[in-house]
Amino acid sequence: DAKTTQPPSMDCAEGRAANLPCNHSTISGNEYVYWYRQIHSQGPQYIIHGLKNNETNEMASLIITEDRKSSTLILPHATLRDTAVYYCIPRRGQFYFGTGTSLTVIP
Amino acid sequence: DTAVSQTPKYLVTQMGNDKSIKCEQNLGHDTMYWYKQDSKKFLKIMFSYNNKELIINETVPNRFSPKSPDKAHLNLHINSLELGDSAVYFCASSPRTSGRGYTQYFGPGTRLTVL
């Protein structure tokens, strides 16, 4: 499975878009990119996933570069409840959670 | 209705005891998992079960034994508990083990404290 690099922490003003980057330069052609988040003390929550094309759902948008070596999760209008640790997981075998990005949404 | 549920939510016990954590999913999924999240917040997979059959065991001590009475349940039994077993244990399930159907849905976690 591909290794990932995410910034350890980010801040975002409430109501603004939060853009969370992930580098997965060793990703292979059949590995999906999954994004999960973990709000303090809760179970990880699925957000979105994609293979090649950009994806959007009610929670977020996922932008995957053409070479698939990086992706960006976009929360269009961050709220205080979006404060969490966000994990980017390229997946071919099992899920391996890294250290993620701790996003703090500031009032 | 809760999709993936775990009981108990908190478990405090003495070293050397045997304990079980239960997990149930009502999503009709074929595959269930157990994860451990330690004090440093690293989340690691322990077991994966597909249709009641163990398909992965990630170098977990044999004091840990998963038991799946049916497709909707995956319980975790721990013998001779040690201090290092203190952690939060998460159960998860997914429709299948590959492709787009792999999305995993997690339970709320069980916080185990060994004294």
* % of chain B at pLDDT higher than 90: 62
B45-79: pLDDT as tens digits: 998 888 778 877 778 899 999 999 888 999 999 99
Mean per-residue pLDDT of chain A: 92
**B111 → chain A, closest CA residue:** A41
Which of A21, A49, A38, A47 is closest to A85 using CA atoms?
A38
Residues of chain A contacting B102 with CB distance shorter than 8 Å: 32, 91
Residues of chain B contacting A99 with CB distance shorter than 8 Å: 41-42
Q: Does residue B102 sit at the A interface (CB-CB below 8 Å)?
A: yes
3-state secondary structure of B85: helix
Measured between alpha carbons, how far is B83 from B88 in angstroms, rounded to an integer?
Answer: 13
The torsion angles phi and psi of B100, rounded to 5 degrees, stand at -75, -15
Q: Cβ atoms within 10 A of the Cβ of A92, count?
A: 14
User: What average pLDDT does range A68-86 have in this prediction?
Assistant: 96
Residues 33-52 of A with CB under 8 A from B: 34, 38, 41-46, 49
B97-113: pLDDT as tens digits: 655 557 899 999 999 99
